[in-house]
Amino acid sequence: MFSNYLIGLREGLEASLVVCILIAYLVKTDRRDALKPIWTGIAVAIALALGFGCALEFGSQELTFQAQEALGGSLSILAVGLVTWMVFWMRRTARHLKSELHGRLDAALAMGTGALVATAFLAVGREGLETALFVWASIHAASDGTPRPLLGVALGLLTAILLGWLFYRGALRINLAKFFTWTGGMLVVVAAGVLAYGFHDLQEADFLPGLTDKAFDISGTIPPDSWYGTLLKGVFNFQPDPTTLQVAVWLLYLIPTLALFLAPARTAVKAPVHDRA
């Protein structure tokens, strides 16, 4: 549940910040007439994300078991790729997000209503589609048959909406760079589990070999149905009897990705003032 809460919070807060920046800019520049197209674009983006999530969930139920596992494994790998790109992109551009959105909005205002709708739709829709795909992959990996993963996502999104509103009202100020760094690092850990389980799905679909080649089996020590086994699976997608391929994929993704993500950002060395002069 915590991993899904983190996904909802992280992705939802990015979308909330985008909406806050767009709305605040229009209000401060006295362009309230453009608010309706912005909200229209946001509503269409949310509807598209929900529709995409429903299509993934209900469409996959009509497939055979082998096809379901193949689809689940493929989409899990795709979701991890998108989320990895997203956390690195946000780490790189978080400081310039506001000015970038202002520039897009100025161009859209000059072009008319349709451009405003498209700007809001594209800004929020990308986050919505990424969230729907990664949430579906995470829930598919957890597969505990309870509504707790969806509840975690819903709570994360509600928290993100509340934080976004507080940001807009000026009642809350936090270091967003540190926030996105810590949540991004935790999301990389979650993504590693989703990726490993995605490869396990492909093994169950007979797309990859080694399903019976277990790296270890500690089911007796950490039973999957115990409270701590359920907690580990919910947070880290932990499996007490992973295959050798799963462990290899988990390590090969987590260690270099986390090292690169947490490495200090490179900054250009500025020349002394007299040299620049």
Encode burial over 49-87: b for 16+ CB neighbours within 10 A, e otherwise: beebbeebeeebeeeeeeebbbbbbbbbbebbebbbebb
**How far, in Å, CA of 79 to CA of 73, rounded?**
10
Task: Give the residue with greater pLDDT, 136 vs 162.
Answer: 162
pLDDT digits (tens, 9 = 90+) for 118-139: 877 877 887 788 778 877 777 7
User: How many domains, in total, are found in the chain?
Assistant: 1
Is there a domain that residue 267 lies in?
Answer: no
Q: Can you tell me which residue has the tokens 């399903």?
A: 211
Task: Give the residue with greater pLDDT, 145 vs 40.
Answer: 40
Is there a domain that residue 165 lies in?
Answer: yes
Is the separation of the CB atoms in 191 and 83 below 8 Å? yes
The answer to whether residue 276 scores a pLDDT higher than 60 is no
Give CA separation, 205 vs 62, 71, 106, 122, 253, in Å.
16, 9, 50, 35, 22
Is there a domain that residue 97 lies in?
Answer: yes
DSSP codes joined into one string, 53-107:
HHHHHHHHTTS-HHHHHHHHHHHHHHHHHHHHHHHHHHHHHGGGHHHHHHHHHHH
Per the DSSP assignment, residues forming a β-bridge with 172 are none
pLDDT digits (tens, 9 = 90+) for 63-99: 787 888 888 888 889 888 888 887 887 777 666 666 7
Is there a domain that residue 207 lies in?
Answer: yes
What local confidence, expressed as pLDDT, does residue 277 receive?
Answer: 39
Whether pTM exceeds 0.95: no
What local confidence, expressed as pLDDT, does residue 257 receive?
Answer: 93
Is there a domain that residue 215 lies in?
Answer: yes
Is there a domain that residue 164 lies in?
Answer: yes
Is the separation of the CB atoms in 198 and 141 below 8 Å? yes
Distance of CA 97 to the CA centre of its chain: 17
Per the DSSP assignment, residues forming a β-bridge with 243 are 214
What local confidence, expressed as pLDDT, does residue 82 receive?
Answer: 83
Q: Which range of residues forms the domain containing residue 40?
A: 1-262
Average pLDDT of span 239-246: 89
Is there a domain that residue 272 lies in?
Answer: no
The answer to whether residue 25 scores a pLDDT higher than 90 is no
Is there a domain that residue 271 lies in?
Answer: no
Task: Give the residue with greater pLDDT, 108 vs 214.
Answer: 214
DSSP 243: B
pLDDT digits (tens, 9 = 90+) for 185-208: 888 888 888 898 889 989 988 889
Q: Can you tell me which residue has the tokens 């800004």?
A: 123
